[in-house]
């Protein structure tokens, strides 16, 4: 199953929401790397846009570089509490499978320092298969959602968004938007899923002040619905509330 973007990067754990948790003996992963960049260094970051299809896949070196970046991004205490020592992409094969859900594949975006160190990345695909982790135990439309006009626009799916340098997550999204706007001048829709809350609250109340949802809202994404997933989803200990989000670009 494909896990949602940034699943451990900012969302408080289930325990911090007063939700009943279980003890585990899972090993704890290494601390999440953090590369602090000056404004000058952020301005000097280089962008790579790598096209991948089933018939013309990315070279192994690029797959492994992106896999390592995403795994580093998905470390830290929140990840450990919800997943133990399980990596975001334990094998390169799982990453390639995520890119291969359609014949058209997609793109891998990576921002790197002047020394060639990747600090942020994401994939954009033509298929969202598996990204919603299957049916939820309860789904609720966002009561404040007002859809934008998406009729006739191609749909893309944002996944595996991760960064190890503060401020570069929003930068990679900006680059993705610019690339899609230039490639599809008549507009497009960019969809994704993000964790609004770990654990399943008994009243299925919409999580408030979710850090990841707030982050995406600042990037002009809108939440269309919330879906609560059972424990074991993405091999998690607690499950969680998944927010379906979308950004509609109209020229």
Residue 61: name the closest of 102, 103, 118, 6 by CA: 118
Q: Token pair of 158, please?
A: 């944002």
pLDDT of residue 22: 31
d(CA 98, CA 101): 6
Residue 3: name the closest of 54, 57, 74, 51 by CA: 74
d(CA 115, CA 72): 18
pLDDT in tens for each of the 251 residues of the chain?
456 654 434 333 333 333 333 333 344 446 778 999 999 999 999 999 999 999 999 999 999 999 999 999 998 888 888 888 899 999 999 999 999 999 999 999 999 999 999 999 999 999 999 999 889 999 999 999 999 999 999 999 999 999 999 999 999 999 999 999 999 999 999 999 999 999 888 899 999 999 999 999 999 999 999 999 999 888 889 999 999 999 999 99
d(CA 105, CA 95): 12
Domains of the chain: residue spans and CATH = 44-249 (3.40.630.30)
pLDDT of residue 7: 40
What Å distances lie between residue 68 and 12, 62, 203, CA to CA?
A: 24, 10, 38
d(CA 7, CA 188): 25
Residue 122: name the closest of 185, 61, 177 by CA: 177
* Concatenated DSSP letters of 61-115: HHHHHHHHHHHHHT-SHHHHHHHTT--SSSSHHHHHHHHTSSTT-EEEEEEE-TT
pLDDT of residue 230: 94
d(CA 87, CA 206): 28
pLDDT of residue 234: 83
pLDDT of residue 178: 99
Q: What angle do CA 146, 152, 157 make, to 5 degrees?
A: 70
- Is pTM beyond 0.85? Reply is yes
d(CA 145, CA 249): 16
pLDDT of residue 81: 85
């Amino acid at each position: 199953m494909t896990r949602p973007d940034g699943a451990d990067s900012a969302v408080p754990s289930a325990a911090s929401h007063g939700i009943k948790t279980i003890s585990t003996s899972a090993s704890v992963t290494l601390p999440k790397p953090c590369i602090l960049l000056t404004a000058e260094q952020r301005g000097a970051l280089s962008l790579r846009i790598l096209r991948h299809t089933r018939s013309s896949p990315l070279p192994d070196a690029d797959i492994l570089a992106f896999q390592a970046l995403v795994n580093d991004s998905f470390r830290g205490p929140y990840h450990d509490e919800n997943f133990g020592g399980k990596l975001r992409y334990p094998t390169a094969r799982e990453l390639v499978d995520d890119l291969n859900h359609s014949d058209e594949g997609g793109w891998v975006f990576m921002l790197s320092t002047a020394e060639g160190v990747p600090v942020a990345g994401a994939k954009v695909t033509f298929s969202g298969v598996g990204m919603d982790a299957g049916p939820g135990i309860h789904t609720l439309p966002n009561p404040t959602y007002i859809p934008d006009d998406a009729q006739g626009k191609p749909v893309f799916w944002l996944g595996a968004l991760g960064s190890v340098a503060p401020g570069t997550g929003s930068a990679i999204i900006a680059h993705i938007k610019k690339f899609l706007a230039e490639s599809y001048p008549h507009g497009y829709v960019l969809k994704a899923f993000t964790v609004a809350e770990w654990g399943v609250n008994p009243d299925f109340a919409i999580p408030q002040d979710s850090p990841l949802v707030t982050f995406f809202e600042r990037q002009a994404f809108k939440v269309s619905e919330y879906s609560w997933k059972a424990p074991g989803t993405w091999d998690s200990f607690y499950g969680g509330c998944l927010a379906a989000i979308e950004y509609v670009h109209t020229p």
